Structure 1
Amino acid sequence: MFKKIDEIIHKATIDRGAYPSPLNYYKFPKSVCISVNEVICHGIPDKRALKEGDIVNLDISCYYNGFHGDMNATYCVGKVDEKGVQLVNTARECLEKAIAMVKPGIRYRDFGKVIEEHAKKNGFSVNRTFSGHGINQLFHCAPNVPHYANNKAIGIVKPGHCFTIEPMICEGGWRDEIWPDDWTAVTSDGKRSAQFEHTLLVTEDGCEILTK
């Protein structure tokens, strides 16, 4: 199943004259990241099949006309328990609340406070290892955009800046571990994680969501 999803995304990207940004990026072997349940991010597609009750994140990035775009979303497979649905909804809401803040003059460190407050209000935590990032002709670049409160990110949002916000919301604790494949990040306590992401271009009075 995962292998098939990767093949579909690869073909759809190439057919549109683009290139899948993850493929061969620091030796990442596939065209999409697929992260299920306790996998926080950077899951490598394999022969595994989805099952009823899973939550699955598809992180799709492409390079087109000299620029990268990056977005992801988490989906419920069949009937998911109430806590799982709440986790997915909270992750989406965290992103929406952060996007609503984006305008010139905001500090990059300020997004994390709003995200973490909403996550904690719903009984969840925010992963601190992985952050949003600048994106343009480079796949990952400055600025660093943490998703947790009291972070030390530097910089002020200005017109023309392009970056992602992509909070990873955890059902249990925020800590993570990396599998021996050097890519797959999972929650240390084995509990689930959900994530949503958009690429944002800062305008004179707000932002444009480039990955809608």
Structure 2
Amino acid sequence: MTITIKTGADIDGMRVAGRLASEVLDMLTPHVVPGISTEALDKLAHDYIFNVQQAIPAPLNYAPPGYTPYPKSICTSINHQVCHGIPNDRPLKNGDIVNIDVTVIKDGWHGDTSRMFVVGEGSIAARRLCQMTYESMWKGIAKVKPGMRLGDIGHTIQTFAENLGFSIVREFCGHGIGRKFHEEPQVMHYGRPGTMEELVPGMVFTIEPMVNAGRREIREMGDGWTIVTKDRSLSAQWEHTVLVTETGYEVLTLSAGSPPPPAFITAAAT
């Protein structure tokens, strides 16, 4: 396994790409309301990335081995859709939850982030799932510093989510990122502490837990991309791109409109 260690100049480029990806979500936020289609959200994002940011949406025509090219510029996964949902013309309904996943390429560097949105008035259960998934991502981020191991991140996320009665999707994981959309290492959201690769300064990867309200089993839809929960329970996901620094971590996918970190993060920083 070859993990690319980013230089200072590399990191500068990734900071820009990460901020731009987050700013796409900032721009979309007021538009995520009942009645809008994910197709319309995709067009807003596509035009903004190309025309305003003068960047490239990485998902568009992305085709890893065994896949048909992805046809849209963002991924939109609704309710029991776990990930890789393809935008379409179905209007969002009051109470839906939707993950919007954005990856921007700027000057050759990738920035990758996603957020959950509750459309209109969501149920207490749906809001709790989204909030606890957000906190599980940050529990993992908080483990990032030199000398820790990837298994420490996964174990922390898994323990937190499962203690709340949720389950962790295991077939998909976070990943290294840089000039390529997906690089080594793979970042599992479950596992044993003290296992897998040791973290060293200059590593950049995503942490993006997918958390189900019901069982963890999933299946692929006929479009070859969309993943859903087998039991049709709700699923949520949040994602940040994270740099290992000399003393801890830096989240590269933050912008003016990013949701604030949970209280346990801000308390630790004081």
Q: What's the TM-score once normalised by structure 1's chain length?
A: 0.97
- Following superposition of structure 1 onto structure 2, how do residues 28-177 of structure 1 map, counting pairs within 5 Å? 28-150=70-192, 154-177=196-219
Shift of 1:38: 0.3
Structure-1 residue corresponding to 2:56: 19
Identity %, equivalent residues: 43
- Structure 1 consecutive aligned stretches of length 4 or more whose deviation exceeds 6 Å: none
Shift of 1:199: 0.5
CA RMSD for the aligned pairs? 1.3
The answer to which structure has the higher helix fraction is 2
Alpha-carbon distance in structure 1 between the residues aligned to 2:221 and 2:198: 35
Listed one character per residue, the Cα deviations across residues 107-150 of structure 1 (whole Å, up to 9, x for unaligned) are 11111111111111211011001000000000001000000134
Secondary structure of 2:231's aligned partner: coil
Q: What's the TM-score once normalised by structure 2's chain length?
A: 0.77
Give the paired residue count.
Answer: 212
The answer to which structure has the higher strand fraction is 1
Listed one character per residue, the Cα deviations across residues 16-74 of structure 1 (whole Å, up to 9, x for unaligned) are 11100000000000000000000000000010110011110000001001110100011
Letter in 2 for 1:4: A
Alpha-carbon distance in structure 2 between the residues aligned to 1:192 and 1:206: 33
Alpha-carbon distance in structure 2 between the residues aligned to 1:164 and 1:145: 7
Residues 144 and 153, structure 1, Cα contact 8 Å, conserved in 2: no
Alpha-carbon distance in structure 2 between the residues aligned to 1:144 and 1:153: 13
Secondary structure of 1:25's aligned partner: coil
Secondary structure of 2:121's aligned partner: coil
Alpha-carbon distance in structure 2 between the residues aligned to 1:178 and 1:42: 10
In terms of Rg, which structure is larger? 2
- Structure 1, unpaired ranges of 5+: none
